[in-house]
Amino acid sequence: MDLEEAGAWLEAPGMEKIPLRGNCSLGRSPKSAVVLDSPKASRRHAIINLQNVGEFWLIDLGSSNGTFLNKRRVHQPVRLCDMDQITVGDSPFTFRQPEEVTSEMRTTLAQQTIRETANIPVWLLVADIENFTPLSRSMVSDKLALLVGSWVAACKTIVEEHHGEIDKYLGDGFLAYWHDDEKSAENVAAGLTKLKQLQKVEPRFRLVLHYGLVSSGGLRSMGEESLIGKEVIFVFRMEKLAGSLGIHLMASAAAQKKLGPAVPSQPAGSHPLKGFEGSFEFFKC
């Protein structure tokens, strides 16, 4: 594969350069994109996710020995920069992305994507760990890393087992989505049921669900497909509202209508969202 086309890669002693396209999994599992032959590596140890138009993020999946970035243990998903030193188990890597994608390039690509891409209907789910800042201050480093990494891994498994995908990881959460089809409402409902069970244990986290039209874009030469559009902004504004209302699982009217009785809900009132005209009905699930 052409490294110039990839734009980013990993370097490691005794290994060929590893081009990064889309998502890259690292671990002892033979299904990993980068298979690690080390007893200190977990089967599903870490992933590098391409998101937000040319950004690469490092995510530990609750590994027992941790993932280290520049000799510091990764506590939460973190963005990578050129020449960052990554250690997975006892395997060292150098992240290379000599030509950073600027904010101007991101804006241009996003505008081009919205012009060129037909809107596609999707379910949008944002998960966010509640009170993450005080939580991070109250826990020792290793325990925090294991708690957050295990939570990310558990959520990722639930989403993917129910035919969804994680579009982007955030510092203390993620955005997932499902393409709309004849079984999507059933899959989303089943996934929400599992995630609600996960909400009963630490870390406490909030979920918001929306349904709408988005564009799909990003650096396609790198294998990236990021969700773009006002409905993506809408669901993130929803998450802020749910936090202020103290609701742990909130759905928009569009999502609640599509779900129907599959997920019991009750009205949570009509509320404005910053950047959007009027007020919108929401539901507590």
CATH code, domain carrying 35: 2.60.200.20
Residues 210 and 248 in one domain: yes
Residue with tokens 């994680």: 166
110 band by pLDDT with thresholds 50, 70 and 90: low
Which CATH number characterizes residue 257's domain? 3.30.70.1230
Residues 56 and 72 in one domain: yes
Residues 257 and 128 in one domain: yes
Query: Rounded to the nearest 10 degrees, how much is the dihedral formed by the CA atoms of 181, 112, 80, 205?
Result: -40
Are 101 and 55 in contact by the 8 Å Cβ rule? The answer is: yes
Residues 18 and 54 in one domain: yes
Residue that terminates a domain, selected from 72, 96, 120: 96
- Between 75 and 106, the more confident residue is 75
The full length of the chain comes to 285
Q: What is the pLDDT of residue 52?
A: 78
- Structure tokens of 43? 């089967």
210 band by pLDDT with thresholds 50, 70 and 90: very high
- Between 124 and 90, the more confident residue is 124
The values of phi and psi at residue 264, to 5°, are -60, 140
217 band by pLDDT with thresholds 50, 70 and 90: low
Residues 68 and 173 in one domain: no
Residue 164: helix, strand or coil by DSSP? coil
193: how many CB neighbours lie within 10 A of its CB? 13
Highest-confidence segment of 110-119, 224-233, 236-245: 236-245
Task: Tell me the three-class secondary structure of 140-157, residue by residue.
Answer: CHHHHHHHHHHHHHHHHH
3 band by pLDDT with thresholds 50, 70 and 90: very low
Residues 147 and 220 in one domain: yes
Question: Is pLDDT at 106 greater than 70 in this prediction?
Answer: no
Mean pLDDT of 227-241: 94
The values of phi and psi at residue 145, to 5°, are -60, -45
Residues 259 and 121 in one domain: yes
16: exposed, middle or buried (Cβ count in 10 Å: 0-12, 13-18, 19+): exposed
Q: How many domains does the chain have?
A: 2
Residue 20's domain comprises: 3-96
Residues 127 and 208 in one domain: yes
Residue that terminates a domain, selected from 96, 126, 145: 96
Residues 77 and 173 in one domain: no
Over residues 171-195, the pLDDT tens digits come to: 899 999 999 999 999 999 999 999 9
Q: What is the pLDDT of residue 196?
A: 97
Question: Is pLDDT at 9 greater than 80 in this prediction?
Answer: yes
Q: Please tell me the least confidently modeled range out of 130-139, 143-152, 230-239.
A: 130-139
Residue that terminates a domain, selected from 71, 96, 121: 96
Residues 55 and 158 in one domain: no
Residues 82 and 114 in one domain: no
Are 66 and 60 in contact by the 8 Å Cβ rule? The answer is: yes
Q: Please tell me the least confidently modeled range out of 45-59, 91-105, 161-175.
A: 91-105
Residues 12 and 134 in one domain: no
Q: What is the pLDDT of residue 116?
A: 58
Q: Is 22 left (phi over 0), alpha (psi -120 to 50) or beta?
A: left
Are 142 and 66 in contact by the 8 Å Cβ rule? The answer is: yes
Q: What is the pLDDT of residue 278?
A: 96
